[in-house]
């Protein structure tokens, strides 16, 4: 028996076991990719009196879009909570380009079920609008148990699964709708400067980071919040919704500083969150 199990055979067995363990761990992490992914490199943190949740930046961007679309439609916070709980269950708040059968997007809506074209459903603004259009048709959705309201929209195999995300949905909704001021902050490393070779090739001076795309950020915000939407606030709650959206999208648009309502967030000290800034007005969110 000892002769059969040569060193080569034992080595193969060890490799197979190690591979099996690695695959198991990888699958476990993928299946449990919940909104707690923020790490030292980049991420976002939501902090409200009800609790704290960590997101990665894509999740925060999706959450910010959902809140903005709800504000555009003048929907109550309960609608946002239901949308978050549904999105967490369906996609972990990621804008997926795949899913069960032909399901795609944050809410895993199916083109074959009349939700829209695949390219439309991977647009979080469009997908969120379709979700809310269906939700407001549910009679007394604000008073229904969350899982019942969500299931009447989604018609999934197991509607009870939405209930487990209600607490997360309430924390995110309180933050991204602006009800809790300064509840969202993000951090990420600065973009690397151009190499001297690249600078000479383009005949442009070197800079530590590219200039912020503030105008593109405004246009993107207006697409979610509604035509004509600006950085002028009208109310503190709307102001903090805009400020939270801006922080969530700061990395994408190269924003370095956001100021509002006596506070400021900077990309250089993103992990520190919102810090006092006496000159920051409550009439307008400033991005730069």
SS3 at position 200: helix
- Cα angle vertex 82, ends 122, 145, to 5°? 145
Comparing C-alpha atoms, which of 92, 89, 116, 121 is closest to residue 104?
121
Q: With cut-offs at 50, 70 and 90, classify the pLDDT of residue 122.
A: very high
Question: Residue 185 has what pLDDT?
Answer: 98
Which residue's entry shows tokens 């999208």?
249
The string of pLDDT tens digits covering residues 2-27 is 445 465 555 555 555 555 544 443 43
Helices assigned H by DSSP within 73-105: 77-91
Q: With cut-offs at 50, 70 and 90, classify the pLDDT of residue 112.
A: very high
Question: Residue 181 has what pLDDT?
Answer: 98
269 pLDDT above the threshold of 70: yes
Which residue's entry shows tokens 């400020």?
243
203 pLDDT above the threshold of 50: no
Quickly count: other Cβ atoms within 10 Å of residue 177's Cβ.
24
Q: What is the DSSP string of 102-148?
A: T-BTTTTB-GGGTS--HHHHTSHHHHHHHHHHHHTTSTTTTTS-HHH
The string of pLDDT tens digits covering residues 60-97 is 999 999 999 999 999 999 999 999 999 999 999 999 99
Whole-angstrom Cα distance, residue 20 to residue 43? 30
37 pLDDT above the threshold of 90: no
The arithmetic mean of pLDDT across residues 105-114, rounded, is: 97
Which residue's entry shows tokens 């259009």?
133
229 pLDDT above the threshold of 70: yes
Comparing C-alpha atoms, which of 259, 255, 189 is closest to residue 218?
255
Compute the mean pLDDT over every residue in the chain, rounded to the nearest whole number. Answer: 87
Question: Residue 183 has what pLDDT?
Answer: 98
């Amino acid at each position: 028996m000892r002769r059969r199990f040569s060193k080569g055979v034992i080595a193969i067995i060890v490799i197979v076991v190690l591979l099996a363990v690695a695959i198991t761990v990888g699958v476990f992490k993928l299946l449990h990719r919940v909104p707690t992914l923020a790490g030292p490199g980049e991420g976002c943190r939501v902090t409200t009196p009800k609790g704290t949740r960590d997101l990665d930046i894509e999740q925060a961007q999706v959450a910010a879009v959902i809140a903005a679309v709800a504000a555009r439609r003048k929907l109550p916070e309960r609608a946002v909570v239901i949308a978050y709980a549904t999105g967490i269950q369906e996609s972990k708040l990621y804008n997926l380009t795949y899913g069960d059968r032909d399901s795609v997007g944050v809410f895993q809506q199916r083109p074959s079920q009349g939700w829209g074209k695949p390219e439309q459903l991977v647009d979080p603004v469009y997908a969120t609008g379709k979700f809310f259009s269906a939700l407001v048709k549910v009679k007394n959705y604000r008073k229904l148990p969350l899982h019942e309201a969500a299931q009447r929209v989604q018609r999934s195999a197991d509607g009870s699964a939405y209930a487990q995300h209600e607490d997360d949905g309430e924390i995110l909704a309180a933050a991204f709708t602006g009800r809790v001021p300064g509840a969202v902050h993000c951090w990420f490393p600065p973009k690397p400067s151009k190499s001297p070779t690249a600078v000479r090739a383009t005949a442009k001076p070197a800079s530590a980071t590219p200039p912020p795309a503030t105008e593109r950020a405004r246009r993107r915000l207006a697409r979610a919040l509604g035509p004509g939407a600006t950085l002028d606030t009208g109310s503190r709650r709307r102001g903090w919704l805009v400020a939270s959206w801006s922080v969530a999208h700061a990395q994408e648009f190269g924003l370095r500083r956001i100021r509002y309502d006596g506070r400021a967030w900077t990309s250089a000290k993103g992990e520190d969150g919102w810090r006092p800034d006496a000159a920051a007005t409550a009439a307008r969110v400033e991005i730069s």
